[in-house]
Amino acid sequence: MHPQFQRELWFLIFLIFLAAIIGSAFDLSVLFISIVLFAYIIFTFINISRLHHWLLHRKDEPLPEGRGYWGEIFHELFLMEKSHAKNKQILNDTILRFQDATTALPDAMIILNKHQQIDWSNNAAESLVGVRYPEDTHQPISNLIRNPAFMKYLNKADYHQVLNIPSPEHPTKQLAVQIIPYVKGQTLIICRDISHIKQLEEMRSSFVANASHELRSPITVISGYLETMQQNLPTDTEKLRKIIKTMYGQSKRMERLVSDLLSLSKLETRPTDQHDNEIDIAALLTAIKESAIILSDDKNHTIELNINSQSNISGNYEELYSLFANLINNAVRYTPAKGHITILWEEIDSQAVFSVTDSGPGIPMQHIPHLTERFYRVNVDRSRESGGTGLGLAIVKHIVERHDGRLEITSKLNVGSTFRCIFPSTRLIKH
């Protein structure tokens, strides 16, 4: 028994006892006891009425005050109401955080009731699926996602496999749909944009096909010669020397291809935590120019190096060497004999700019946007004859971007081409 209830009971007994004593003096004990009990009943009903009134209007009125046992009841109700308000606030905050989190998610989320009608959706659902909340609330999902495969997936109630469908809003986008049933027949639909994954898979498939094709040609040549030599070894020394020279050239081509593939793989997976070393650009370009002169050999190119800025940049020496050497060597390979090649290092608008300009045949405009794609060639036969692998500019683009820069290509037919690498001021080191 609650202590307050005990006190209230003893207080009532005391009142009855007191009424009996006073009433006995007038020989009216029963009347006095009845009056006390009636007054206590009236007091109780008044408090019950006040409690009922508060229950009906508790949103607008505070809890009434009471005395004795009723005061204790009102106090306990006050504590309960305070605890309820606190828990309600916590719940509201949790719901708001959940809604904020789901709203920020890039994946579309849709909640359906047991009748497959929309109860709620986040912002991504509008851009990916076309479901707008709250405008589309209580709409059947079949009205908005009119895909037979999706409806079959939704109705079969077996959601272990993820369904891939085109986006109803953007048919070029591919969505991965996952359905999760939960309490009271409700269903959560999660739609994730996997277009980039599909593109990567297509790129991987294309890359494997291109790499296989590039390797097949030299392997076929080498294996063909070896098979011929195995059956009938040529006795003519000159013919044998020619065969060996051809096989050596094809093997070097495979070596360059594998080397470029490894370089590209490293660039795509290696972190950029070693890109803050100061690079002596003048010394680097001078060394590459000397190598380019040797590569030019009997073509007698005029190779000019202009260092118009003493500033250096921060970066990775190995990668920048590969970047500059690729562009300069490309100019040497594709520029006709006695052509002119200009290598320029300068500073423009607080940005470091490296450029290579040649007097080659130029590149048609429609090819320029695709030059940095893997294995893309403007002229396949000419590129292979020059020893190119089709990966050089893809490597260049990766290195430039790893150094926060950008690659610009301009060309004019029968005039020449310019490849320009622009590095931001944040990488510039002035002297």
pLDDT tens, residue by residue, 311-322: 999 999 989 999
CB neighbours of 158 closer than 8 A, spacing ≥ 6? none
**Rounded Cα–Cα distance for residues 404 and 413 (Å):** 30
pLDDT at position 357 is 95
Is the model's pLDDT at 306 over the cut of 90? yes
Alpha carbon separation from 184 to 77, 154, 181 (Å, rounded):
32, 16, 9
Q: What is the pLDDT of residues 196-251, one digit of tens each?
A: 887 777 667 666 666 676 677 778 888 887 887 877 777 777 888 888 888 888 88
Q: Tell whether pTM > 0.85.
A: no
Q: For 366-377, what is the mean pLDDT?
A: 84
More confident residue, 97 or 202: 97
**One-letter amino acid identity for 413?**
L
State residue 379 phi and psi, 5-degree precision.
-130, 105
Is the model's pLDDT at 1 over the cut of 70? no
Q: What is the pLDDT of residues 8-51, one digit of tens each?
A: 778 778 888 888 888 888 788 888 888 888 888 888 888 888 88
Is the model's pLDDT at 278 over the cut of 70? yes
Q: For 258-279, what is the mean pLDDT?
A: 76
Q: What is the pLDDT of residues 150-182, one digit of tens each?
A: 888 888 877 888 888 888 888 888 899 998 888
Sequential DSSP letters for 346-375: EEETTEEEEEEEE-S----GGGGGGTTSTT
pLDDT at position 353 is 94
